[in-house]
Chain A
């Protein structure tokens, strides 16, 4: 929403430095996104008439434009825009002009042709956003006149405001003026239009039927007779131009002007083109169509509200846009002016569905002021009176369902308890009255009537916000609450941090792939293609949610490989999203099975290295009881992978190497070690308490035992049997050698273990050591297809 300072001043004597005013506006919740001081730095820019346009002989992207800068001579300009035609008035920065951005205009050759100045866009002059084309000026300006003078833009300020959904009042110049005047403590008034009304004639035939009073809270129609449609009053055209609207004709411009000024969108119908001289407001029939002002055919559903003529043909979309057929043109003389209040949510839905957001819909969506209509009708009539139009007395005014506006009880104690202030009811009243929240002090509290222009407000807390806004957020003190408990991370969060530190310490960097996959990504990683889909993805590449961290990390390694970064070790802790097993129901299943996982991808390192990393992780997470069970895992190397099982048998994850087929499909030419761990499952595990085993001060004894073991017996099984057999005496156990080859039978390998034995209270005797050794050998040989190597 743009507002001009000069326009604000028509409602309140607003004075002050533009930057300070901008601060106030921002503080009040209407953030100033851009502030332009107009009329400065425009010295040297004049109104010029386009005489002719010609192609540049040596360039396609610029053309030659001959202009008259006021002396009747043709002046050649090289111009990069093509939006002007002979006869148009345009701003010319003459040679020597210093532009607002500091650039000085010189006479210079462009591809061999002289350019004697520069034609300017609105943006170049600081008059608007448009930098695409040259600013086409209102046709009635005197050629050769300084632009600032001709446009009447000397010493004005243009504020571009961001208006939030809770500020429907700020969608009008008058509303912004009211709020700012209240902040500055200056009086605000809406001037009463000076308009003479003539006895009704045409009005007698006009009919209005509102068939949807739930969606149309008020519908006013008044007749303007004897309109002459022509060029606008230059003052109006200038303001519309500055506000970013293109002047069209005297009637349409006034219609827009009233909308900007008072926030009341309105629609003038050419009475001569309006069949039956009547309007009906009704819901659309599904499939019904209308060609709107922008010449696009729109199709409706039963939720859309239409304005129809007396013969029930659609002539406009309520609150959004009018139809092309009843548009005002140069021949129009009698006009029916519609001003209405439509239910915000209804307009919002229609505008959203049609993707047709207009100045009108933006206002209706936030909620317009149903009580501004009478004034707005007269204001519109006042502004077109100059072109001969006369407002007929009376009008048709149909009221539907408008929001109830019961007074709100505001408890001063509650207000102060929320804000941390000590305001009295009287002080509250003094803050609210200037913005139209009329307040009656009742004991210690206030009874507040919310003004008709604040559709957003209805409850005590809404009023508290208004009080805070106008008291000033910066005047409210600053205190720091004292939490009753000390702050800290919980056990799982602390463990997650330790895990991150471990991984980083082992030379692995954290990656952060997007959790979105393309269809087929899971299958390319050897995983089931059962990812949950996004129903409204922007692109297919981001339409499936990951069920595993594998695709993301493999892609990350592939990206690195393509950039000649090999041997990269990455990890990620992130969420995956899975379907519950068939038949699962009950609490929790309204959402998918979402888990936090850890995955590690070791570029250029194989499964054995992955297992080494796994042991470090297992140690950190107190997962000493977890075991590896060899066997195929989807996505992993079929003969170099193992599942991680908790002592209970619950599956916690997998360790191994990424399947070579998966790597090949991703263009990765090195082995990739892999670890994936379900951190949610780990968090649920009963953790082995770390009980102290006294450190023996007596010398320990070492024994080495090598067994020939069948290939299909995991080393882990031998180790488990040894641990059990060695019992309390075992201080440590380590598999230190694996040997295959001469001396070992085919299908077997030798596993050599080093056992260190001790006792807390004495030095082990040779007999005790021999006893443990014998127990170990017997246990392994009897439990497993294994024999001690002689």
Chain B
């Protein structure tokens, strides 16, 4: 004990007081159950008017040594309490967030579809897929009118007038122009004629479209159906190119484990002509369509020199292919437009 420290006991008192107030403060802060309570407790414990902060006024009565020691202790206590408050605030905020989230709980399986997406028609889906396969093979897509002249549908395609081959097409004629001059196209082949008469060769294109026959609707026939046809004309296109293109298409559209074959056949607009069949991986065959080398008469009718230009054409029906894929067994369902049918695909 010396004279230099006239109130040593008072300094010790203050240290003790700080310790007590800090302990009370910790308890009070810890007891705050909400952010509001925490804010009130903070004001009471470390605010400007809190007893702890109030001790600062009593520092002046201490000697420099005591002032430094007590001041340090006081600051340490205030900082510690602020840290506790901060920690408690984080706890309470997390708790409040947790309660908020819990209050927002949703059973997402209670939710029903609003307006569901619409559906593309089965035939359109098939056409787009076929187009994509052929575009990938380097083809463009050509289109033409559904009402055609007799010349585009038959004459240019090497069907002589009155030829019995015309009978097989069950043609629907249209009351336009001279009787028998205008018809609903019976196949997509007139588009070939339009392509060849419309621009110079070479041609690498497919022609999807709607065709018509005088047929009574039943499970396997419709007076309206869809075909896709391909036309390739260039200087050196061969029958081997035809067979290779059919096979490349088969693998691209049906799958790598499908194969194809060509059988001799007859069409007025191709020679040599062939039917093409697809063999499924299980060994069974599907008769798909017809094809052949474009007949020299057809080339000549379209203004091309058959000794200079040559090529092949192929075609097949789309509707039966489309329904077979999905297990639909009645073609009429495609055209009834029942929404319960349309939205299944």
Q: Which A residues are within 8 Å of any B CB, using their own CB?
A: 26-29, 31, 164-167, 345, 348-349, 352, 365, 414, 417-421, 459, 461-462, 464-465, 468-469, 473-474, 476-490, 493, 497, 500, 503-516, 532-539, 542, 545, 556, 559-560, 563, 565, 568-571, 574-575, 577, 590-592, 594
B291 to chain A, nearest CB (A): 11
A719 to chain B, nearest CB (A): 28
Q: How far is the CA of A473 from the CA of B265 in the complex (A)?
A: 11
Q: How far is the CA of A327 from the CA of B108 in the complex (A)?
A: 86
A511 to chain B, nearest CB (A): 4
Q: How far is the CA of A480 from the CA of B136 in the complex (A)?
A: 13
Interface residues of B in 189-237 (CB under 8 A from A): 202, 204, 210, 214-216, 223-224, 232, 234, 236-237
Interface residues of B in 230-284 (CB under 8 A from A): 232, 234, 236-241, 243-245, 247-248, 261-266, 271-275
Residues of the B chain whose Cβ atoms lie less than 8 Å from the Cβ of A479: 238, 240-241, 244
Residues of the B chain whose Cβ atoms lie less than 8 Å from the Cβ of A592: 147, 174, 176, 182
Q: How far is the CA of A98 from the CA of B313 in the complex (A)?
A: 49
For residue B145, CB closer than 8 A to chain A, the reply is yes
A357 to chain B, nearest CB (A): 10
The reply to whether A508 and B223 form a contact with Cβ atoms under 8 Å apart is no
For residue B134, CB closer than 8 A to chain A, the reply is yes
B272 to chain A, nearest CB (A): 4
Q: How far is the CA of A482 from the CA of B147 in the complex (A)?
A: 33
For residue B148, CB closer than 8 A to chain A, the reply is yes
Residues of the A chain whose Cβ atoms lie less than 8 Å from the Cβ of B121: 509-512
For residue B164, CB closer than 8 A to chain A, the reply is yes
The reply to whether A570 and B337 form a contact with Cβ atoms under 8 Å apart is yes
The reply to whether B162 and A490 form a contact with Cβ atoms under 8 Å apart is no
The reply to whether B234 and A507 form a contact with Cβ atoms under 8 Å apart is no
Q: Report, nearest first, the 6 A-B pairs whose CB atoms are least far apart.
A: A420-B240, A29-B264, A420-B238, A483-B138, A164-B266, A478-B244
Write 19 A-B pairs (CB below 8 A) sorted by A numbering.
Answer: A27-B263, A29-B265, A468-B239, A473-B264, A473-B272, A476-B239, A478-B244, A483-B232, A484-B234, A487-B137, A500-B120, A504-B118, A505-B117, A516-B224, A532-B175, A534-B173, A536-B173, A577-B146, A591-B182
The reply to whether B146 and A594 form a contact with Cβ atoms under 8 Å apart is yes
Q: How far is the CA of A493 from the CA of B174 in the complex (A)?
A: 28
A176 to chain B, nearest CB (A): 14
The reply to whether B337 and A512 form a contact with Cβ atoms under 8 Å apart is yes
Complex partner residue of A461 from B167, B216, B265, B271, CB under 8 angstroms: B271
The reply to whether A420 and B337 form a contact with Cβ atoms under 8 Å apart is no
Q: How far is the CA of A593 from the CA of B195 in the complex (A)?
A: 20
Complex partner residue of B140 from A490, A505, A534, A556, CB under 8 angstroms: A490
The reply to whether B266 and A167 form a contact with Cβ atoms under 8 Å apart is yes
The reply to whether A478 and B342 form a contact with Cβ atoms under 8 Å apart is no
Residue from the set A418, A476, A481, A556 with the largest chain B CB neighbour count within 10 Å: A481
Residues of the A chain whose Cβ atoms lie less than 8 Å from the Cβ of B234: 481, 484
Q: Which A residue sits closest to B145, measured CB to CB? A: A594
B320 to chain A, nearest CB (A): 15
The reply to whether A509 and B119 form a contact with Cβ atoms under 8 Å apart is yes
A-B CB pair tally, cutoff 8 Å: 246
Residue from the set A418, A480, A568 with the largest chain B CB neighbour count within 10 Å: A418
Query: Assuming the A-B contacts A461-B271, A477-B243, are A484 and B174 also in contact, with contact meaning beta carbons closer than 8 angstroms in the complex?
Result: no
Complex partner residue of B337 from A417, A478, A503, A511, CB under 8 angstroms: A511
Query: Assuming the A-B contacts A481-B237, A532-B174, A533-B174, are A512 and B335 also in contact, with contact meaning beta carbons closer than 8 angstroms in the complex?
Result: yes
Residues of the B chain whose Cβ atoms lie less than 8 Å from the Cβ of A569: 118
The reply to whether B296 and A533 form a contact with Cβ atoms under 8 Å apart is no
For residue B179, CB closer than 8 A to chain A, the reply is yes
Q: How far is the CA of A417 from the CA of B241 in the complex (A)?
A: 11
Residues of the A chain whose Cβ atoms lie less than 8 Å from the Cβ of B139: 483, 487
Q: Which A residue sits closest to B114, measured CB to CB? A: A507
Complex partner residue of B244 from A418, A480, A560, CB under 8 angstroms: A480
The reply to whether B337 and A513 form a contact with Cβ atoms under 8 Å apart is yes
Q: How far is the CA of A352 from the CA of B140 in the complex (A)?
A: 40
Complex partner residue of B164 from A348, A506, A514, A535, CB under 8 angstroms: A348
The reply to whether A478 and B240 form a contact with Cβ atoms under 8 Å apart is yes
The reply to whether B175 and A533 form a contact with Cβ atoms under 8 Å apart is yes
Q: How far is the CA of A532 from the CA of B138 in the complex (A)?
A: 38
B120 to chain A, nearest CB (A): 5
Complex partner residue of B248 from A26, A480, A513, A533, CB under 8 angstroms: A480
Further contacts, 17 of them, CB under 8 A, given A419-B239, A508-B118, A591-B145 = A166-B266, A417-B310, A420-B241, A459-B296, A461-B295, A469-B272, A473-B261, A478-B240, A480-B244, A487-B134, A510-B118, A511-B121, A534-B184, A565-B338, A568-B339, A574-B210, A590-B182
Q: Which B residues are within 8 Å of any A CB, using their own CB?
A: 115-121, 123-124, 128, 131, 134-141, 145-149, 162-165, 167, 172-177, 179, 181-182, 184, 202, 204, 210, 214-216, 223-224, 232, 234, 236-241, 243-245, 247-248, 261-266, 271-275, 293, 295-296, 307, 310, 334-340, 342-343
Residues of the A chain whose Cβ atoms lie less than 8 Å from the Cβ of B266: 29, 164-167
Q: Which B residue sits closest to A555, measured CB to CB? A: B337
The reply to whether A497 and B128 form a contact with Cβ atoms under 8 Å apart is yes
The reply to whether B224 and A473 form a contact with Cβ atoms under 8 Å apart is no
The reply to whether A510 and B124 form a contact with Cβ atoms under 8 Å apart is yes
The reply to whether A473 and B243 form a contact with Cβ atoms under 8 Å apart is yes
Residue from the set B119, B134, B164, B307 with the largest chain A CB neighbour count within 10 Å: B164
Complex partner residue of A27 from B117, B210, B224, B264, CB under 8 angstroms: B264
Q: How far is the CA of A594 from the CA of B148 in the complex (A)?
A: 10
A566 to chain B, nearest CB (A): 10
The reply to whether B118 and A418 form a contact with Cβ atoms under 8 Å apart is no
Residues of the B chain whose Cβ atoms lie less than 8 Å from the Cβ of A513: 335, 337
The reply to whether A420 and B239 form a contact with Cβ atoms under 8 Å apart is yes
Residues of the B chain whose Cβ atoms lie less than 8 Å from the Cβ of A352: 164, 167
Q: Which A residue sits closest to B148, measured CB to CB? A: A591
The reply to whether B232 and A512 form a contact with Cβ atoms under 8 Å apart is no
Q: How far is the CA of A492 from the CA of B274 in the complex (A)?
A: 34
Residues of the B chain whose Cβ atoms lie less than 8 Å from the Cβ of A497: 128
The reply to whether B135 and A507 form a contact with Cβ atoms under 8 Å apart is no
Residues of the A chain whose Cβ atoms lie less than 8 Å from the Cβ of B223: 514, 516, 538, 542
Residues of the B chain whose Cβ atoms lie less than 8 Å from the Cβ of A533: 174-175
A440 to chain B, nearest CB (A): 23
Complex partner residue of A419 from B238, B335, B340, B343, CB under 8 angstroms: B238
A669 to chain B, nearest CB (A): 16
B242 to chain A, nearest CB (A): 9
